Amino acid sequence: MPLRIFDRYIWRQVSSSTLTGVLVLTGVMVLGNVFKEMERLLGDTASLPLMAVAQFITYVIPYSLIFTIPWALLTAILLVFGRMSADNEMTALRMTGMSMPRICAAVFVLSVFMSGVCYLVNVELAPLAKTKIKRLFYDLALDDPAVLFQPGKVLDRFPGYRIFTQEREGNKLKNVEIIQTNLGRAERYIRAKRAEVVVTPGVTDFQLHLRNATVETGGGEADAASAGAEVNIMNDLQFLYMGDTAITFPLSKLKEKTERVTSSMKDTSALWSEVNTGISSVDGQPLSEKLISVSRTELSMRYSFSLAAIVFTLVGIPLGITAQRRETSIGFALSLIVAVSYMVFVIFVNGLNERPSVYPHLLMWVPNLIFIGVGSRMFYKLNRR
Tens digit of pLDDT for each residue in 192-239?
A: 888 888 887 777 778 888 888 888 876 444 443 433 444 444 445 455
- The answer to whether the CB of 180 falls within 8 A of the CB of 190 is yes
pLDDT in tens, 122-142: 999 988 888 887 777 777 777
The whole-number average pLDDT for the span 30-56 is 65
How far is the C-alpha of 219 from the C-alpha of 68, rounded, in Å? 54
User: From residue 298, how far is each of 265, 295, 306 by CA, in Å?
Assistant: 10, 5, 12
Write down the domain spans for the chain: 5-141+262-384, 159-249
Return the minimum-mean-pLDDT range out of 39-53, 326-340, 341-355. Answer: 39-53
Instruction: Fill in the amino acid letter for 314.
Output: L
The whole-number average pLDDT for the span 237-246 is 68
The whole-number average pLDDT for the span 35-58 is 65
Q: What is the pLDDT of residue 2?
A: 56
Return the minimum-mean-pLDDT range out of 21-30, 44-53, 137-146, 341-350. Answer: 44-53
Is the four-CA dihedral 358, 315, 11, 383 of positive or negative sign? positive
pLDDT in tens, 95-111: 888 888 888 899 999 99
Show Cβ contacts of residue 271 under 8 Å, excluding neighbours closer than 6 positions. Answer: 263, 281, 295, 296, 298, 299
User: What's the pLDDT band for 262 if we cut at 50, 70, 90?
Assistant: confident
- The answer to whether the CB of 101 falls within 8 A of the CB of 54 is no
- The answer to whether the CB of 245 falls within 8 A of the CB of 195 is no
- The rounded Cα 278 to chain-centroid distance in angstroms is 27
Q: What is the pLDDT of residue 229?
A: 44
Return the minimum-mean-pLDDT range out of 173-182, 187-196, 258-267. Answer: 258-267
Q: Percent helix, strand, coil in the chain (nearest 5)?
A: 60, 15, 20
Residue 306: pLDDT above 90? yes
Among 98-102, 116-120, 241-245, 320-324, the range with the most confident prediction by mean pLDDT is 116-120
DSSP annotation string for 52-85: HHHHHHHHHHHHHHHHHHHHHHHHHHHHHHHHHH
SS3 category, 377: helix
Task: Say how many C-beta atoms besides its own lie within 10 A of residue 87's C-beta.
Answer: 12
Residue scoring higher pLDDT (323 or 349): 349
Is the four-CA dihedral 313, 315, 321, 324 of positive or negative sign? negative
Q: What is the pLDDT of residue 277?
A: 92
- Write the DSSP symbol of residue 122: I
Q: What is the pLDDT of residue 33?
A: 65
